Amino acid sequence: MEIKKNFIQEIEKIIGKDNIDYFLECCQKPLKKSIKININKIESNKFQEIIKEFGWRLTTPQIKVNGENYDNFYIDRDDTSLALGKTFFHLSGFFYIQEIAASIPAKLIDIKPGDKILDISAAPGGKTTQIGDYLLFQGQKPGFVVANDVNKKRAQSLAHNLNRMGIYNTGITSINGFSFGKNIPNSFDHVLVDAPCSGEGTSYKSDFSLKTWKKQEINKICGTQFQLLVSAAKALKIGGTLIYSTCTLNPYENELNVKKVLDFFEGDLVLEETNIQGKSEGITHIEGEKIFDESQASKLARFWPHVQETGGFFVAKIKKVKSKENKYNPKENKLTPQNPFKLNISEKLQKQVWDYLYQVFGIKEDREKYLFLSTTNQVYVTSPEYVDIKDKLNFEKIGTPIFKINSGRDRLRPLHGLGTILGDKATKNFVELNYELSQKIAFREDINKEEVNTDNLPEKGYIILRYQGYGISVGKILDGVIKNKYIKI
């Protein structure tokens, strides 16, 4: 691995020369594979019970938030010939492949039913799916997550992951993150700034950031991060929390930025305890200059390759206690809220979709958790809380597609998302698949009707596909074959 000398010198200032060799050695080690279970879909205990049969084992990491860890695990498998990301469990949204330290920021959010949360730099979506999962898991109001990424290409991967995981209580925007605070202030219960950063903590994946490290580039990145923090703080409601995280190690992008935003808002924001078991504390000085005292630094959280055996990571939790409405900076941009497509959320649409779901699949109406909206060619499901924010932002995508709209008798044609989100609620026209057939479906292959239990199945038409009661997709019976309607991966 090629590492710039000036980066080594910067890290030596923090950890000391005695630790630098071991630090550099650990930076080059691949991390142990870890996953985040989608607990609104399947309980952790149930998932662990199911996968034992296939020689999969989960172990709990030492890092815990508030002494708990119920959904993030290291994973070992006896047979790794099939990549973890190609298993039907992954492709059908049972889990997200996520590094342990990266799971921490979402866990620090004090989520309550119905919360509206902004993930200001969301792609590829690991933390967004995690936040949405926690909201849905509560079983009450599903809330709503605005997942933003200014890069529209990255937003496409974000959309794919939200669809795959069945996290329907979300909307994607693709706008400059500097815009939120000035144009929709005091709008969100919580904001996550998982900031674009120099990526020094990701050397276990690539040495690019360490072999190209330059102090002047760090200074530019710090400016972007600070602007995002200012915008996020203003977009936050009083009493809400701002979570700031990076996957980098230098103090300029981390502690110093936290200090700057606290000073900028002059008492409106206060540093909160992160309460993470197994963390390292923040840094108190940079080049001899004091940033925080020890009590403040202890509230911050750092993760080091040579200490926690994770990727390099930093997290801070900040609470908004007051608000100065006229406090802004000149780089804030103006939003132009206008949806690029016309959306229908009429009562007529709600009744039409619920009638279809009950008649075809026996799925009972539940308007507290689900809201349907349609464009000219698709029906999506999202959460009712979307209505509260729909006119404030320019959304690229809302919710998860569950029907394609066609002319003629078969006007609503079920899509993959219907199976993953509502499939477990079907009381008729569903079929339980074994592991082999579930994997076949995930590979986008058709299966013969004779391979499954045909009791109570129609001769033709759409059916829900399930594995041990959990929805994995939809299919269509035609000429004795269950035609595959799996999402394109």
Residue by residue, DSSP assigns 424-447 as GG--SSEEE--HHHHHHHHTT--E
Task: Extract the tokens encoding 414.
Answer: 């079920």
What is the rounded CA–CA span in Å between residue 465 and residue 87? 16
What is the rounded CA–CA span in Å between residue 261 and residue 264? 5
Catalytic residue among 26, 27, 197, 247: 247
Closest CA to 190 of 144, 241, 238: 241
What is the rounded CA–CA span in Å between residue 29 and residue 47? 29
Residue 403: which H helix or E strand, with range? strand 400-405
Radius of gyration, alpha carbons of the chain: 24
**What distances in angstroms separate CA 232 from CA 43, 187, 306, 319, one per listed residue?**
33, 10, 32, 12
Residue 91, judged by CB atoms within 10 A of its CB (0-12, 13-18, 19+), counts as buried
The answer to whether the beta carbons of residues 279 and 330 sit under 8 Å apart is no
26 is catalytic: no
What is the rounded CA–CA span in Å between residue 328 and residue 312? 32
What is the rounded CA–CA span in Å between residue 97 and residue 157? 14
Helix-helix angle 5-15:17-27, to 10 degrees: 120
User: Virtual CA dihedral for 370, 96, 300, 256, nearest 10 degrees?
Assistant: -90
Task: Extract the tokens encoding 436.
Answer: 């082999």
What is the rounded CA–CA span in Å between residue 21 and residue 17? 8
What is the rounded CA–CA span in Å between residue 363 and residue 433? 20
**What positions carry a catalytic annotation?**
247
